[in-house]
Structure 1
Amino acid sequence: LRLENDDLKQSNCDMKKQIDELERKTDDLEGRSKRNNLIFYGLPRQEKETNVECEAMLKDLITDKLELADDIVFDRAHRLNSKPNSPVIARCVFFKDKVKILKAKRKLQGSQIFIGEDFSERVREIRRRLTPHLKVKRNEGCRVSIVFDHLLVDGKRYSVDNGNNLTEIK
């Protein structure tokens, strides 16, 4: 009976490892599929707005406010939901265009418009839990930023555990 119990424990441990690996792979695939996506917050909704009008609004923002060339191409652009002024998600055809937009987004400071990246649910949750640590480290005078799913503090990488404690990534 003891041997059978040990076998069950080992089998359970093996399955847990498989599930963890599958979750990691799924998260990686989702992240890759969202790699070229940007989310635009604070854009006013037009009455009976179509996806074509949504894309045109983004083009105007990019050329007028971000002062980028009008050669940026979107695969698609649409509102995330039907709520008033809901965010717009857009998929850039070229990753380099996404990077250009992200670098130029500082020109929007002081406006009601914010541009962010599209991440998986798991990564969004981790970033939400890292934000208080970012604020504390920034107040301490550290150079700090959130990069994907970890915190970068003065060149060192940190992750957050289930208790919201920072641990250095070696």
Structure 2
Amino acid sequence: MIDIVSYRIRIGMYHKGKRTMTKHNCNGKSYGKLPIGFSCALRVAIFCAITLLILAGDVESNPGPRPTGGTQTRQSTLDEIAREPTLKDILKQMHDMNEEIQQSIAKNTIEVSNKVDNLNRKIDSLNQRLKDIEEENKQIRADNIYLQKQMDIVEAQSRRNNLVFYGFTEEEKETWEISEQKVRNFITDKLGLNAESIAIERAHRINTKTNPRPIIAKFANYKEKENILKESRLLQQKRRKKQNYRKDEHRSVSEDFTRRVRTIRNKLQPKIKEAIENKKRFRLRYDKLIIEGEAFTYNIEKEELVKL
């Protein structure tokens, strides 16, 4: 029989209010002294482990808890990560892309360069053509000016026997005979010439907007026409010397010039007024103004006064 004290000592109970140490035997062998409390806890743990093993049964029939969805997701994520390209692959792809881009840029550069060369050749061709056209235009303008001058000469030849009379009052429904008689009266009364001996082929009003309209008269003899023009110029010089003269005396005679010459003579009027104010001697001959030996004309194309 084992007394209660020995039983308590064996199972690790406290004895007499103190923790005691005991020897544990296994098959009659001693393993040294262990704390009584530890020995009790060890026994409880062993008991629990054996109970769990009995409850678990066979491993094949009870393999354990089934894998959850989270585990499958993690596995698939790991698989995807494994399938992702590595840094080396990425660098290789970037290198290949860079080579493709460089090749494309080089190809496009060559194409653009060829197009630019073609455009430059076309531009050079157009510039040369433009220069040729400009030269042709210059020649055409020069020829046009020459032809215009030749036409003016021919037209002037047809007008060489004409004189234009300004400042003569105009009657209503005035006939050519009336206009001619007014010219003859002026030649006789103001110029002091024998108008009856002067042959006038025709005399009539010119269709202009001025009032009164001037009278153009064509003389049969060129010398008689020049004599009338000379006397009319002397008359104008006498009038300039007068301080005042009657309005009805403000009549003048000029040659019948072409439209171009009339335009030039009108443009020379400011220069004539300047010469008169400065009391300089001048002559206006055809399309030229001569002031004390210096000749001037007006360039219609350039619209400027030219000193000859």
TM-score, normalized by the shorter chain, greater than 0.5: yes
Aligned-residue offset at 1:38: 0.9
CA spacing shift, 1:56–1:14, aligned 2, 3 Å? same
TM-score (norm 2): 0.50
CA spacing shift, 1:7–1:112, aligned 2, 3 Å? closer
Distance in 2 (CA, whole Å) between partners of 1:163 and 1:78 is 33
| Corresponding residue to 1:74 among 177, 188, 200 | 200
Aligned-residue offset at 1:32: 1.5
**Amino acid corresponding to residue 162 of structure 2 in structure 1:** N
What RMSD over aligned residues (CA atoms) do the two structures have, in Å? 2.2
Aligned-residue offset at 1:166: 4.1
Distance in 2 (CA, whole Å) between partners of 1:47 and 1:6 is 59
Please name the residue that 1:115 is paired with: 253
Greater Cα shift, 4-13 or 63-72: 4-13
Please name the residue that 1:34 is paired with: 159
TM-score (norm 1): 0.86
Unpaired runs of at least 5, structure 1: none
Contact 1:74 1:93 in 2 (8 A): yes
Unpaired runs of at least 5, structure 2: 1-124, 240-244
Distance in 1 (CA, whole Å) between partners of 2:200 and 2:275 is 36
Contact 1:129 1:164 in 2 (8 A): no
Please name the residue that 2:283 is paired with: 145
Deviation string, structure 1 residues 50-92 (Cα, Å, up to 9, x no partner): 1122112211221222110121111110011387531111011
Correspondence 1:5-154 to 2 at 5 A:
5-69=130-194, 70-81=196-207, 85-105=212-232, 106-107=234-235, 109=239, 110=245, 111-154=249-292
Distance in 2 (CA, whole Å) between partners of 1:71 and 1:31 is 26
Aligned-residue offset at 1:130: 0.9
Deviation string, structure 1 residues 151-170 (Cα, Å, up to 9, x no partner): 10112322234453341x2x
Deviation string, structure 1 residues 117-157 (Cα, Å, up to 9, x no partner): 21111111111111111221232232112211111011232
Distance in 2 (CA, whole Å) between partners of 1:151 and 1:77 is 29
Q: Which has the higher contact order (CA 8 A, sep 6+)?
A: 1
Q: Please state which structure has a larger fraction of its residues in helix.
A: 2
CA spacing shift, 1:133–1:82, aligned 2, 3 Å? closer
Contact 1:77 1:90 in 2 (8 A): yes
Secondary structure of 1:142's aligned partner: coil
